[in-house]
């Protein structure tokens, strides 16, 4: 199915902001019946206050072991190569910061679990990119409810019949009709498999990978199309200040916890996109496409 993507630039979203008002202000006057509004989970998590200051976290012995041994040695010399990571990321992993990394792994252990904590980044949807200082965001607790709330609010305020999708940059891997990810709570039809193991398998086998849809309200879309939309939208949105905390720090010439809020506000952020479908592909109500 043909579709087009318009990513919308907004100011940086802050904890306590109304994501309903943010999204309405961004799309009002731009949308038509049958459009799909796609929103980045990261921006929603920030508005919901799902952020943690890792500088205040006291790491456990297990977290230190993961940071010092597992990350530097196992990922830096073995899994990084198996997963075909970029050379620069492998070098970064070999120098993985022990104190800050252990605090991050402690958060991952507490909120995502052991198998997710063994990921080299975005452990269970926990992410520090595009956040200042030592803050990280947690994944949404119930993305489907939030998607439904956004849909109802936009329809009530604009009179347009639309659908809403929430996506994450973490990848879903596909082989035949099987779609799996290391990311918890993906859209129905995508399976979460064994924490970091899903990532290793998908990357090692070079399976087709696309960004992960987490929730969909107002339509029933074939899972392959949903994945194609999520990937296209992710590319249109871009990575803001950087794809990883390392990229972000290098961009501004500071250490890993030295990125300030003003630095982030100086960068273009596109947390919302409008997807428009051609021909008979309009999404209305629970129409299946």
pLDDT at 194 over 70: yes
pLDDT digits (tens, 9 = 90+) for 226-244: 999 999 999 999 999 999 9
How much is the mean pLDDT over the chain?
95
Tell me what the mean pLDDT of segment 145-167 comes to.
Answer: 98
Domains of the chain, start order: 3-49+146-277 (3.30.1330), 52-137 (no CATH)
Cα distances (angstroms) measured from residue 45 to each of 85, 125, 178: 27, 11, 28
pLDDT at 134 over 60: yes
pLDDT digits (tens, 9 = 90+) for 264-287: 999 999 999 999 998 655 554 444
Strands 135-137 and 163-175: unpaired
pLDDT at 164 over 90: yes
Strands 36-40 and 163-175: parallel
Catalogue the E-assigned strands of the chain.
3-10, 36-40, 51-53, 135-137, 163-175, 178-181, 191-192, 208-217, 269-277
């Amino acid at each position: 199915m043909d579709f087009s993507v318009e990513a919308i630039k907004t100011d940086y979203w802050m904890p306590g902001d109304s994501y309903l008002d943010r999204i309405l202000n961004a799309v009002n006057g731009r949308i038509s019946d049958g459009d799909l509004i796609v929103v980045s989970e990261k921006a929603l998590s920030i508005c919901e206050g799902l952020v943690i200051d890792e500088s205040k976290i006291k790491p456990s012995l297990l977290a230190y072991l993961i940071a010092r041994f597992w990350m530097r040695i196992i990922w830096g010399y073995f899994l990084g190569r198996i997963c075909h990571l970029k050379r620069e990321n492998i070098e970064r992993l070999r120098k993985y910061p022990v104190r800050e990394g252990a605090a991050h792994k402690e958060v991952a252990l507490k909120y995502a679990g052991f198998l997710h904590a063994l990921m080299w980044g975005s452990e269970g949807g926990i992410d520090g990119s595009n956040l200042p200082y030592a803050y990280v965001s947690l994944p949404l607790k119930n993305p489907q409810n939030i998607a439904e709330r956004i849909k109802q609010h936009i329809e009530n305020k604009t009179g347009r019949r639309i659908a809403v999708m929430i996506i994450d940059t973490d990848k879903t891997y596909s082989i035949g009709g099987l779609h799996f990810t290391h990311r918890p709570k993906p859209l129905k039809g995508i399976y979460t498999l064994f924490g970091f193991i899903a990532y290793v398998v998908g990357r090692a086998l070079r399976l087709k990978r696309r960004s992960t849809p987490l929730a969909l309200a107002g339509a029933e879309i074939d899972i392959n199309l949903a994945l194609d939309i999520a990937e296209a939208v992710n590319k249109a949105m871009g990575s803001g200040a950087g794809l990883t905390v390392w990229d972000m720090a290098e961009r501004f010439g500071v250490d890993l916890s030295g990125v300030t809020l003003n630095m982030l506000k100086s960068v273009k952020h596109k947390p919302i996109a409008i997807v428009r479908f051609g021909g008979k592909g309009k999404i209305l109500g629970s129409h299946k496409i």
